[in-house]
Amino acid sequence: MTDIQHVSRPFVPPYLLERIASGGSQRLRECARHTLLADRQFRAREGAAHLPQGSSARGQVVRYIYSAGQRQELPGRLVRREGDEAESGDAAIDEAYHGLGATYRYFWEKHQRHSIDDRGMALQATVHFGRDYENAFWDGTQMVFGDGDGELFNRFTIALDIIAHELTHGVIQHEADLVYAHQAGALNESLSDVFGSLVKQYRLGQRVEEADWLIGAGLFTERVAGRALRSMADPGSAYDDPLLGRDPQPGHMRDFVETEDDNGGVHINSGIPNRAFHRLAMALGGHAWDVAGPLWYATLLDERLGRESDFTAFAELTLDNAGQRYGQGSREWTATRDAWRDVGVAVR
């Protein structure tokens, strides 16, 4: 059996690729099958790879962008590095460079976190991975982006929240190290969505009512009947397409999906804590990074958060942290409690 802690964290869930592999055109079936094979082969290297020099100065990011040249080799050829101010002219290279920078900037400016490990770890990304590769993933040391197939998926650097989502898997790896299966794995995915959305909102300066709360907007081509891969505001509504099927995410515990696929439904049931965060942010108003984001971040760093924590355990910690920060019975504490109750997660 595969060690669930030693698998890559792919952005596109396997059940979506399996639908394409069984029902798409011949070319799309081949693209999906090659992507699924690559996703199974690339396990998290978690320290095995040599990392380039990071940043010793807190608040200063160090980025390295590589190109795999449509091969499945990592990291590939160095094509842009920190200090290269001129745009390369290659959209994937430049989007990855700026996306890494925006993610670092959010975590530093809002949480005083110095890179993924809080010790200045270099931010690495490889673009143009594989031929028609339909995914992006965090492999334990770096980001990897495919170019998509051009028919269903655009390039995976196109959405800032995809980049931030995958980098957040690295933050989780260095903090709570949530087991990537079942409810703990769904929390892992949800936290990555939460901070992916926060990075995008922070970059755009959006208030909660201005944000789209979509994860992966722009990833689908115009051929797909869908807005994004996931919706935090309304799980289950992101897409409804003849080939891809309907977004299977639930937004309430009564609809929790029991499955052994997708490591126990990590990409499916993450819709429940996603919606709880959205409910909290909307109840508080203003900018989501002012109260809701720091509360979730404090809970991620909380030593009481175990590797196998379920939704209730995480929810109770967010409520406790809200009480410590703002006082039990405060507006923030009450909104946190109500957000979890709204999605059917029992809290005191």
Q: Which of 151, 174, 197 is the endpoint of a domain?
A: 174
pLDDT digits (tens, 9 = 90+) for 86-123: 999 999 999 999 999 999 999 999 999 999 999 999 99
Residue-level pLDDT at 13: 95
Is residue 13 domain-shared with residue 159, that is, in the same domain? yes
Q: Which domain holds residue 128?
A: 9-174
Question: ∠86-91-97 over CA atoms, to 5°?
Answer: 60
Q: What is the pLDDT of residue 5?
A: 45
Q: Is 166 a catalytic residue?
A: yes
pLDDT (0 to 100) of residue 1: 32
Shared-domain flag, residues 160 and 213: no
Query: What does the DSSP 8-state code read for residue 253?
Result: G
Q: Which residues of the chain have pLDDT under 50?
A: 1-6, 46-48
CATH number at residue 305: 1.10.390.10
**Among 174, 26, 148, 155, which residue's Cα sits nearest to residue 94?**
155
Single-letter code of the amino acid located at 287: H
Q: Is 267 a catalytic residue?
A: yes
Q: Are residues 23 and 163 in the same domain?
A: yes
In a domain, 275, yes or no: yes
Domain boundary among 121, 154, 174: 174
What domain count does the chain have?
2
Catalytic residue among 82, 95, 134, 166: 166
* Dist CA 321 CA 328 (whole Å): 10
User: Assign residue 306 a region: left if phi > 0, alpha if psi is -120 to 50, beta otherwise?
Assistant: beta
Q: Considering the domain boundaries, does residue 4 fall inside one?
A: no
Supply the pLDDT for residue 319.
98
Preceding peptide of 75 cis, ω within 30°: yes
Are 22 and 162 found together in one domain? Answer: yes
Residues 25 and 156 in one domain: yes
Task: Provide the pLDDT for residue 308.
Answer: 98
Catalytic residue among 267, 287, 316, 332: 267
Confirm whether 347 is domain-assigned: no
Give residue 47's pLDDT.
44
222 and 74 in a common domain: no
Same domain (yes/no): 125, 189? no
pLDDT for res 334: 98
Query: How many angstroms separate the CA atoms of 221 and 152, rounded?
Result: 5
Q: Return the pLDDT at 43.
A: 57
User: What is the per-residue pLDDT for 2?
Assistant: 37
In this structure, what are the phi and psi dihedrals at residue 81, rounded to the nearest 5 degrees? Answer: -140, 170
Tell me the pLDDT tens digit for each residue of 329-347.
999 999 999 999 999 999 9
| pLDDT at residue 62 in the model | 98
